[in-house]
Amino acid sequence: MTLDTESLYRILYKHMGPQGWWPADSKIEIILGAILVQNTNWRNAAYAIDSLKQATLLDPHHILNLELEDLQTLIKSSGFYKNKAKTILALLSWLHQYDFDYKAIADKYHTNLRDQLLHIKGVGSETADVLIVYVFEGIEYIPDSYTRRIYRLLGYEHTEQYDKLKRNVSLPETFTNQDANEFHALLDNFGKNYFNGNASHQYTFLDEYFEYND
């Protein structure tokens, strides 16, 4: 059984509308958020971003000039702050080589961009995919934890691991960057809104999905 990704996207969009993601004022803030939200909730990541904003105005050059211990202190609320600080510095150092010109980086690496990002210490599959979609304006499927729960609810296999589900689900060839952006945001916000005890919304969504794919 193959998941009809486009119908899933259309149903979610019909129910929820455009999401306006990623919640940030700049691409640097998106980059920091993608790292800081790893293994924690958005509230804890947001506290860390606010601390960084107060200390550095989120100027990447200012962040790079911070002592490692100072950066760790600023992002402590996000948890795993020692590793996250190293990842932030490694990723910003790599971007600095290209003067933070995201389009130039995307043009240079094109289909190899994901592999390049994964070679940066601390950047895993989900972070790489988020960066490609929200920073480099590419097209990637982002099967985060909420997405895997939704797909499991729909009766699909390969949901236990991020990379495994990604290998078994493809986005439609017609998807644009905006579609990839919205699809991830819709799935994530559906999970946040409806996996916390609001079963009626789950069943309404499921009923329509299966009716649509009957």
Q: ω into residue 22 within 30 of 0, thus cis?
A: yes
User: Tens digits of per-residue pLDDT, 20-38?
Assistant: 999 899 999 999 999 999 9
157-200 per-position pLDDT tens digit: 999 999 999 999 999 999 999 999 999 999 998 888 777 765 55
- Residue 144 pLDDT > 90: yes
Q: Count the Cβ atoms, other than its own, within 10 Å of residue 159.
A: 21
The phi, psi pair for 37, rounded to 5°, reads -80, -5
The C-alpha atoms of residue 79 and residue 148 are separated, in whole angstroms, by 23
Going by C-alpha positions, the residue among 30, 63, 46, 16 that lies closest to residue 182 is: 16
pLDDT (mean) for 73-101: 98
C-alpha to C-alpha distance for 6 and 60, rounded to whole angstroms: 37
Q: Residue 209 CB: number of other CB atoms within 10 A?
A: 19
Q: In sequence order, which residues have a C-beta less than 8 Å from that of residue 148 and are 6 or more positions away?
A: 159, 160, 162, 165
Q: Residue 2 has what pLDDT?
A: 47
Distance between CA 136 and CA 125 in Å, rounded? 15
pTM for the structure as a whole: 0.91
| Domains of the chain, earliest start first | 5-20+143-209 (no CATH), 27-135 (1.10.340.30)
31 touches 91 (CB < 8 A) = yes
pLDDT of 44 over the 90 cut: yes
Q: Under a CB-based contact definition with an 8 Å cutoff, are residues 32 and 22 in contact? A: no
User: Residue 87: how many CB atoms within 10 A of its CB?
Assistant: 21
More confident residue, 115 or 212: 115
Length of the chain: 214
